Amino acid sequence: MKRNILIVSCLVASFVWAGCSRPSAPKNTPIPTLTVEELLANPQSHSHTMVKVSGCFVAGFEKVVLQSCSSKNQAQQIWVEDAGFLEEMKKGSLPGMPEPTPRELKSPAAKKVLFAYDEGRNSRAWQKLAASMSQDQMVSDVVLLGQFETIAPRDPVPMYLGFGHLGAYAHELILVDVLSSQTSSSR
């Protein structure tokens, strides 16, 4: 009996010691601003985290993306998801009812959201983006705050297993806020 108590005491002490000696970042650690290129250089290291990312926001027919301002390469584009859409999708599922989408076709976007959804903040963010877009190209230079998700390094992206329109994008940023934006004069 004494031996069991000693073993349990040692285990508890080792867990406490391991927890104490582990470095931990302060909760108020500032989030650095990355460029699209920096973020996508190693997307797995930023997956399922909050990020600030700078690039060019492009909206068009079946396209709402953040991309490098110097590249139009679709592999280097990040689908920008409306947090309001995800919130509505959560409301749409009824307890005890079968999922309408087979698990194999379910988007990785179903992961846990890391921030509290705020309808007003979401609306203001999308209004800022709309106001900063030029009429001809619908492109603006922005710094966005959001939750980054990726399915990389899958290459190519399997149909219907990614993000955005027809699941065609390997990366997604669930928009939380627009930190800065300016209309692009020419692209």
Task: Identify whether 56 is part of a domain.
Answer: yes
Residue 120 lies in a domain: yes
- List pLDDT tens digits, range 120-142: 999 999 999 988 887 755 677 89
| In-domain check, residue 49 | yes
pLDDT at 159: 54
Range of the domain at 151: 26-183
CATH number at 53 reads 2.40.50.140
Contacts of 71 (CB under 8 A, 6+ apart): none
User: Which stretches of the chain score pLDDT less than 50?
Assistant: 3-26, 104-105, 107, 109-110, 186-187
Residue 16 within a domain: no
Query: Does residue 18 fall inside a structural domain?
Result: no
Taking alpha carbons only, the member of 183, 174, 180 closest to residue 80 is 174
The number of distinct structural domains making up the chain is: 1
Residue 39: its H or E element: helix 36-41
